[in-house]
Amino acid sequence: MIKIPLLLTVMTFHPIHVAAGNSLPAQATVSRADSDRVTGFLRVLASAWTPASAQGPYDPHRAGPWDTEKLLSFFARGGVTFHDINGDTTWHLTSPRLRGELGRRLGSAFDMLIHLGYIYTQPHPQYSQLSFVKNPAGVVVQVGAWYQVTFVRERGILHVAKVDYTELEGE
């Protein structure tokens, strides 16, 4: 059983340690329900990757399917904003457009999300260590040095509103 303090101030952990049943650090920022919601989202993304397909360099063609309907339930009603630090590109997809990309498994948002799932499966802290910071609107989660995911509270439940790719390529 995973033990997570009910009230947290800054929480950093690696998913492998939690999966092994280890306790999380005593200091944290989010409730157990919020932490479960965040890790639930990341686990759906990671479900496209088997242990074998996640080995070696990133190749999106090795990714399998995920439960698109379940994944869509994690996104904000107004859609999601995506940002890639490489080229400083920002775009927003409404919920119907996001549904289309995920269903077709094609498009910039799909590419970013399948990569985020791959990064989360990697058993090294620089890739998949999670850091949570609570803010008035919800929670911001840092996934290693690669991604920042912003969750906002809608009807009391966290939903993904923004996904930032923060890893500078070619550096």
- % of the chain surpassing 70 pLDDT: 82
20 φ/ψ angles, rounded to the nearest 5 degrees? -80, 0
One-letter identity of residue 52: A
Cα–Cα distance measured from residue 27 to residue 14, given in angstroms and rounded to the nearest whole number: 15
Structure tokens at 43: 């686990």
Q: What is the pLDDT of residue 171?
A: 60
Candidate from 12-26, 35-49, 103-117 with smallest mean pLDDT: 12-26
Query: Residue with structure tokens 């989360």?
Result: 120
Dist CA 47 CA 83 (whole Å):
23
Predicted confidence at residue 134, as pLDDT, reads: 93
The predicted model gives 112-136 an average pLDDT of 94
> Which amino acid makes up residue 124?
H
pTM of the model: 0.83
- Higher-pLDDT residue of 22, 152: 152
Question: What end-to-end distance do the CA atoms of the chain give, in Å?
Answer: 40
Mean pLDDT calculated for residue range 112-125: 96
CA angle 139, 35, 13 (to 5 degrees): 100
Band of pLDDT at residue 170, cut at 50, 70 and 90? confident
- Average pLDDT value for residue range 66-76: 97
The third-level CATH classification (topology) of the domain covering 11-49+67-165 is Nuclear Transport Factor 2; Chain: A, (3.10.450)
Contacts of 33 (CB under 8 A, 6+ apart): none
